[in-house]
Amino acid sequence: MKFDETDIKIIRNLQRDARTNFADIAEECGVSVDTIIKRFQRLRRHGVVRGTTILLDPRHLGLDCPASLEINVEPVHVADVVDQMRRQPGVVFCTPSMGMQNIFAVVVLKGMNELNTLIEKTKTLPHVKGVKTSIWVENILLCPENFELEGLKVEAS
């Protein structure tokens, strides 16, 4: 699949606001609305775009305790522990990682008590050697537009 200026403009517009009218994007690109619709469908079909979503502020939803965990596990058991962590309520992201620790996870919980419970539980999982915690405070800054799109080739799929 070839990736051109129009594709980039579609993604850039939708990164800022997923509800942007295709008519507005079409005008910006100097093409028809149909073209934008077809391009968007093509981006989805090729898996470049996985979908659109709204971003929620966890604290507004009573989830006052977003945090990241770095978990140290005996290397051969990383996949096991990742599986178990992903099943814990409040764990929104968990992946094997390389660095000082070998699992990185992001959790969103109601408060310190819930976080503490999760950490204690994590520590008791078999093969877990240690957990480091960073609680995310104040404004969490997000910038979906920081993906570099210009000059990139999209892999054929």
Partner 1 sequence: MDEIDEKIIEIMTGDARTSFRKIAKELDRSPDTIINRFQRLRDAGDIRGSTVVVEPRKIGYEGMAAFHIDASTSGGSKTDLTSILKTIIKMPNIIVATKTVGDHDLLAIGVIHDFDHLMRLGKEIAAIPGIKNIQTAIWAGGGEVCPRYFII
Q: Which residues bind partner 1 (CB under 8 A)?
A: 3, 11, 14-19, 46-58, 60-61, 66-68, 70, 86, 92-101, 104, 106, 108, 132-144, 146-149, 152-155, 157
The conformational region for residue 117 under phi > 0 = left, psi -120 to 50 = alpha, else beta, is: alpha
Which residue lies nearer to partner 1 by CB, 89 or 153? 153
Q: How far is the CB of 34 from partner 1 (least distance, A)?
A: 17
Q: Walk across the sheet containing 91-96 and list its strands.
A: 65-73, 103-109, 91-96
Closer Cβ to partner 1, 19 or 30, answer by number: 19
Tell the smallest beta-carbon distance from residue 39 to partner 1 (Å).
13
CB of 49: closest distance to partner 1 in angstroms?
6
Least separation in angstroms between residue 30's CB and partner 1 is 21
* Cα(146)–Cα(148) distance, integer angstroms: 6
Residues pairing with 91 in the sheet: 107
CB nearer to partner 1: pick between 45 and 127:
45
CA dihedral 92, 95, 101, 102 (to 10 degrees): 150
